[in-house]
Structure 1
Amino acid sequence: MAAPAQHIQPVKLAALPAALTPDNRYWRTYKSPLLINSYAAITHTTFAPSAPHDLVVSSATRVQIFSSKTRAVSKTIARFKDTVYSANIRADGKILVAGDATGLIQIFDVSSRVILRSFDHHKQPVQATLFSPTSMTTLMSASDDTTVRLWDIPSHEPTHIFSGHADYVRTGAFLPGASGTIISGSYDGTVKLWDPRISTASSSGGCVMTFTHAHAVESVVPMAGGTTILSAAGSTLNVLDVVAAKALRQLSNHQKTVTGIATAGANRVLSAGLDGHVKVYETREWKVVHGFKYPEPVLCLGVSPDDKHLVVGMANGLLSIKTRASGAQKMDMLSEIGRLAELGIDEAIRREKKTRSKNYQRKIRGMDYKGGAEDIVLMDKDRKRKLKKWEKAFMRSNYGEALDEVLLIKDPVVPFNALTALKHQSALRAALQGRTEETLQPILKYLLKYLQDPRFFNLLADVTMLLLDLYAASFGQSKAIDALVVKLYQRVNDEVRKSKSATEVHGMLSLLLAGSE
């Protein structure tokens, strides 16, 4: 009795480095994307400093407050005559401030939406408004009239007017700490530090430090320690050191203007730009560790203080909110993983089977039985998996046909398995020879695409050499084949160059290690 035809056994390949880094895994947990359409561009987004960290969105002539729990609009404030910018909630969560394009600053009671205070000293649009983190009655504003002002809310009057900028002031913030120092960024390309303890009538006008940029400054954000400032100017993100009074880094990872900066956790920074990209940086080497792509230019972004929500506002009025799993959900997932680990795989599968329907249990009854030592187990013809088309051609010794069929499969491992089997059968030359222009192109394209893969290199190098031996005399007769051969030649040269560089580095490391012993 003839033995049944066996499937060609797949080759076990070496494991490649993990495609996902810890940062990739972390930022991909921001799921459950919610897209909200507005009728105008989103000018500013921020989160309330106090729990539950509700989201505040400024767009057109209204400010919307989204609940951090339901991600739905809980309140809308629409008492503005023109475009509203930079709405912010105070640390206690009770009042909100916003400036608009008319130069008016208004303070609202969050619960009743009643106007508590109005300041009309600015004569041009107010681009930034922010409460002091250390004083409940202090407020700062930055305006297109080139001034930065500190306000005392009860007295309705500005306590300081800083006027050292020469162009629109579009961004500002308080430095962490009790000094009350503020920073501002202007379209004159400068970032200035202002100290309210110094009189504005002095020669410096209250300015204690200036950083100069080559482009207009769109955003400034201080980092937690208070000695580092992040600024966005043109298509670059700049890392400024207040202690050394100089720029430490200039990151040029965006193709267009950087419009927003946000910090996440203790050591991650995000930047958004008009190119529709959001980049995530680690703060040790300032390298990009992750990225997001959005369909429209991004005007603003923010990360909630508890790192639960990531929000992005776009130029077409689209608001994107991504949310991580809650603590309870994460604990449920971890407990389930721990439970399965304690049970073991076999026991977990057995319990899962018990929860399925009776029909399914009847269907799988006896499938786990392997037979005793004295038993003879017959193969059920109905359960026998059919050979694939290329495997049948291989069994009939139609090696060229088998290779043609397998090259149509997208998974690169399957053609590699077929080439390995052909080599073991000493049939590789038979499968490659006698080919036309149309049947030779798929092989060259496969080699061109996967020759640099370290798992496939040894075998594909042999296939390449055999092809050159078989068809070298035919080169120059087909433009398509010649173009593929030239690309393959360039790919091999790249690999040779990389190998030489790796050998040089290995030699240098060997000398260093030998010297240290």
Structure 2
Amino acid sequence: MGTPSTRNYKTTSTLQSKRHTVASVTLGQDGFADTNEARYWTQKLGIGSSKKYDTSKNAKKYAHSRSLYIPPNREAIAQQVLFGPLLTSKHPPFAVVCGPRVNLYGTSTTGSSFVRALYQSGNTKTNSSSNENNPLVINELEPDRSVQTGGNLALGASFRNDGRLLAVGTDAGEARICDVTMRSTIATFSSNTMPIRSIEWFRNGQYILTGGDDGIARIWNLSSTQKTKPMIQLKGHGDVIRCTALWQQEKKKKTATATSTQQQQWTELAVTGSYDHTIRVWNVHNVGVEQQKPKQNNMSMMMMMDVDDDGSGKKEAEKEDEQSRCLAVLNHGAPVEALCFLKSENNPDVPMWLLSAGGTTIKVWNPLSGQCIATVTTHHRKTITSLLPVLRTNYEDDSTKMKTISQRILSASLDGVIQIHSWDPKTGAMRHLYSTKLTDSITSVATDTTGDRFAFGTVSGHVLFKMKGPSVTDKKSTKVPKAGTYSFFQRGMNADPNSGDYTVTTKTKKQRKLNKYNFALKKFRYAEALDEVISTRNPKNIAGVLEELGKRRGLTHALSNRDEETLEPILRFVSRYIKKPDYTSILVGVAHILIDIYGDVAGESDEVDGLFRKLKHQIKLECMAQKSLMLLVGQIEASMTGSATVTPSL
């Protein structure tokens, strides 16, 4: 027998690294947790559970936050959520890219159902089921407007800085420029059929940057007549371009120092992140000016080269010009999913910071030198899908009651975990502060410019909307605004009258509720409107709806795709009232359309065939009656003409 071994063998379970649970991630990374930070996000915005921080020592500084759970109109992934610029209304426009359309919320000027539902979610008296952990769920929340994409799947969108135009990228390789107010497509740019994953607006509002599955970033001119030829093509990636970002620094006066000259030179940069694990930095400064000026240098180079008949010299010159725009190639080490630029403070060597997210890591770059400043390994268990800077205001532990604004970095991934990191704009350092988890996988995160509203898009198509509640310490002003000022006219209809005011009361009738068929016509559901009005058995209403459908060119659509049960009432009405002089002109056209649509399927249903034979018999009887009347009219006219020509006898 052999001697017993003295080696201590370990099982495979002990050799494996400890798996981080949601609770361990929420408590913080590397044993660090900021209670004030957690209290801020849970109490102000309702991101996470606030039960842990609701104590007598930590009184709430904010009222009940607004939480709304928006279901999708159809089963599709919420590809992107985004906020537009704040224009005239109190709420910025909010868009959801889901399916073959982009749904817009908060854009109605007459009253938005989205805004009403949002404030209803914060009213704890009328809605006791809505809180930070259980947001208000609206089963049928209609968007204020919807931008169509021609049946193609929308993958990305971007608002212009004035909020009037929306650029949408589709899976058919189209970049559509749509009017938000009119919901019409102004221009469509397309160079191939490869999907466009990311789209960005330039600051001037005339150019857009697109990137897609062909690995080429393109810059398009809105005023160009060539819708299939971009201004510039930025080539170099070997795989899908997943995300893009633009850095457009404000113009500064030129100085004699070398540092300011270098900063002035790189005022416009474009960054593209790809699934080939690389990030490319492009110089897009004065793109439009270079396209308008005659390129004398390129012409001289072409004269020196031996240009073939097929124009190979010109192609080589364009290729060199496109390659010269690439300033740096950064290797992230994983497929890049998100990019964002951040300003630098008091650091002349790094005028801006670039953050990239891929896999479960976040990297901080100097985009001009290509140097990786920091690599942050997060505790996300799945791929990071969103990375964006957010603002944090009003610290709870601020005893001076001064408004303090700081910047945070928010990351979200497919495991549903949301992580908040601190950010140092001088050194580019990041540190984990707070984490929480949603029930669904997160595909996109967006916030407004003030950091008071957040939207989380999920794989299931649902969108979780969060808005901060009003401050408990801030009291509303009870002072009556001065007459004639803007605030005086914005008091609202519930304002109390002042002493000496004349109160004018009017007897207004209650607005009449629309009928079912009128409501269906308003929603452009023509077939449903026709079925509803047929069920009323009122010939005047039925004739009115048929006439309205004819004016809208929707009569053929309303009569098509019907089965035996829904076609029978229409045929009975036509065969019964086609002889009536008041309805003959309308029903003759309806009969022609019915014969054209259902003439090929004759003989499949005995009831439908019998109704068509009845219609034929009624028309035949009417024709015979008209023929008899015409003969009678002819006889009467002949007798009256003969009596008029006979001279009276004397």
Coarse TM-score class (shorter-chain normalised): 0.5 to 0.7
Structure number, greater radius of gyration: 2
Find the residue that maps to 2:321 and give its secondary structure.
coil
Q: In structure 2, what is the Cα distance between the partners aligned to 1:79 and 1:283?
A: 38
- Residue 159 of structure 1 aligns with an amino acid whose one-letter code is M
Counterpart residue number, 1:30: 45
* Structure 1, 114-123 or 221-230: larger mean CA deviation: 221-230
- Residue 169 of structure 2 aligns with an amino acid whose one-letter code is G
Q: Which runs of 5+ in 2 are unaligned?
A: 1-31, 47-65, 108-114, 119-140, 251-266, 288-317, 345-350, 392-405, 477-650
Q: 1:175: Cα distance to partner?
A: 1.0
Counterpart residue number, 2:161: 91
Counterpart residue number, 1:473: none
Counterpart residue number, 1:60: 99
Match status 1:306 vs 2:450? yes
Matches within 5 A, 1:230-241: 230-241=355-366
- Residue 291 of structure 1 aligns with an amino acid whose one-letter code is S
Q: 1:57: Cα distance to partner?
A: 1.1
Q: 1:122 and 1:335, CA in 2 relative to 1: closer, same or farther beyond 3 A? A: same
Q: Contact 1:53–1:305 at 8 Å: present in 2 too?
A: no
Find the residue that maps to 2:38 and give its secondary structure.
helix
Match status 1:141 vs 2:210? yes
Q: 1:171 and 1:19, CA in 2 relative to 1: closer, same or farther beyond 3 A? A: closer
Q: How many pairs align?
A: 314
Q: Contact 1:176–1:222 at 8 Å: present in 2 too?
A: no
Q: 1:264 and 1:19, CA in 2 relative to 1: closer, same or farther beyond 3 A? A: closer
- Residue 315 of structure 1 aligns with an amino acid whose one-letter code is V
Q: 1:96 and 1:30, CA in 2 relative to 1: closer, same or farther beyond 3 A? A: same
Higher relative contact order (CA 8 A, sep 6+): 2
Q: Contact 2:353–2:365 at 8 Å: present in 1 too?
A: yes
Q: 1:244: Cα distance to partner?
A: 4.2
Matches within 5 A, 1:11-50: 21-28=35-42, 29-31=44-46, 32-38=66-72, 39-50=75-86
- TM-score normalised over the length of structure 2: 0.46
Q: 1:20: Cα distance to partner?
A: 6.2
Of 442, 447, 467, 1:323 maps to: 467
Q: Contact 2:328–2:369 at 8 Å: present in 1 too?
A: no
Counterpart residue number, 1:118: 188
Match status 1:209 vs 2:328? yes
- Cα shift readout 1:376-409 (whole Å, capped 9, x = no counterpart): xxxxxxxxxxxxxxxxxxxxxxxxxxxxxxxxxx
Find the residue that maps to 2:181 and give its secondary structure.
coil
Q: 1:224 and 1:86, CA in 2 relative to 1: closer, same or farther beyond 3 A? A: farther
Q: 1:201 and 1:49, CA in 2 relative to 1: closer, same or farther beyond 3 A? A: farther
Find the residue that maps to 2:231 and give its secondary structure.
strand
Match status 1:174 vs 2:246? yes
- Cα shift readout 1:399-449 (whole Å, capped 9, x = no counterpart): xxxxxxxxxxxxxxxxxxxxxxxxxxxxxxxxxxxxxxxxxxxxxxxxxxx
Counterpart residue number, 2:419: 279
Counterpart residue number, 2:437: 293
Q: 1:122 and 1:49, CA in 2 relative to 1: closer, same or farther beyond 3 A? A: farther
Q: In structure 2, what is the Cα distance between the partners aligned to 1:44 and 1:35?
A: 16
Q: Contact 2:419–2:435 at 8 Å: present in 1 too?
A: yes
Matches within 5 A, 1:301-380: 301-325=445-469, 329-330=470-471, 333-335=473-475
Q: Contact 1:263–1:270 at 8 Å: present in 2 too?
A: yes
Q: Contact 2:238–2:276 at 8 Å: present in 1 too?
A: yes
- Residue 84 of structure 1 aligns with an amino acid whose one-letter code is A
* Structure 1, 238-247 or 89-98: larger mean CA deviation: 238-247
- Residue 269 of structure 2 aligns with an amino acid whose one-letter code is T
Q: In structure 1, what is the Cα distance between the partners aligned to 2:447 and 2:163?
A: 17
- Cα shift readout 1:69-122 (whole Å, capped 9, x = no counterpart): 555732111333222011111010111110111101111111000110001213
Q: 1:180: Cα distance to partner?
A: 2.6
Q: Contact 1:189–1:216 at 8 Å: present in 2 too?
A: yes
Q: In structure 1, what is the Cα distance between the partners aligned to 2:270 and 2:175?
A: 19
Q: In structure 2, what is the Cα distance between the partners aligned to 1:310 and 1:272?
A: 12
Matches within 5 A, 1:177-192: 177=249, 179-192=267-280
- Residue 146 of structure 1 aligns with an amino acid whose one-letter code is G
Q: In structure 2, what is the Cα distance between the partners aligned to 1:26 and 1:206?
A: 44
Q: In structure 2, what is the Cα distance between the partners aligned to 1:251 and 1:62?
A: 36
* Structure 1, 289-298 or 91-100: larger mean CA deviation: 289-298
Match status 1:229 vs 2:354? yes
Q: In structure 1, what is the Cα distance between the partners aligned to 2:372 and 2:280?
A: 13
- Cα shift readout 1:165-193 (whole Å, capped 9, x = no counterpart): 11000110111315331111000011111
Q: Contact 2:67–2:465 at 8 Å: present in 1 too?
A: yes
Q: Contact 1:50–1:91 at 8 Å: present in 2 too?
A: no
Q: 1:245: Cα distance to partner?
A: 2.0
Of 198, 204, 220, 1:151 maps to: 220
Find the residue that maps to 1:175 and give its secondary structure.
strand
Matches within 5 A, 1:381-400: none
Q: 1:19 and 1:300, CA in 2 relative to 1: closer, same or farther beyond 3 A? A: closer
Counterpart residue number, 2:233: 161
Q: In structure 2, what is the Cα distance between the partners aligned to 1:125 and 1:230?
A: 25
Q: 1:139: Cα distance to partner?
A: 0.7
Q: Contact 1:122–1:143 at 8 Å: present in 2 too?
A: no
Counterpart residue number, 1:263: 389
Find the residue that maps to 1:113 and give its secondary structure.
coil
Q: Contact 1:312–1:319 at 8 Å: present in 2 too?
A: yes
- TM-score normalised over the length of structure 1: 0.58
Q: In structure 1, what is the Cα distance between the partners aligned to 2:451 and 2:243?
A: 23
Q: 1:304: Cα distance to partner?
A: 1.0
RMSD of aligned residue pairs (Cα, Å):
2.2
Q: Contact 1:270–1:279 at 8 Å: present in 2 too?
A: yes
Q: 1:53: Cα distance to partner?
A: 2.4
- Residue 39 of structure 2 aligns with an amino acid whose one-letter code is R
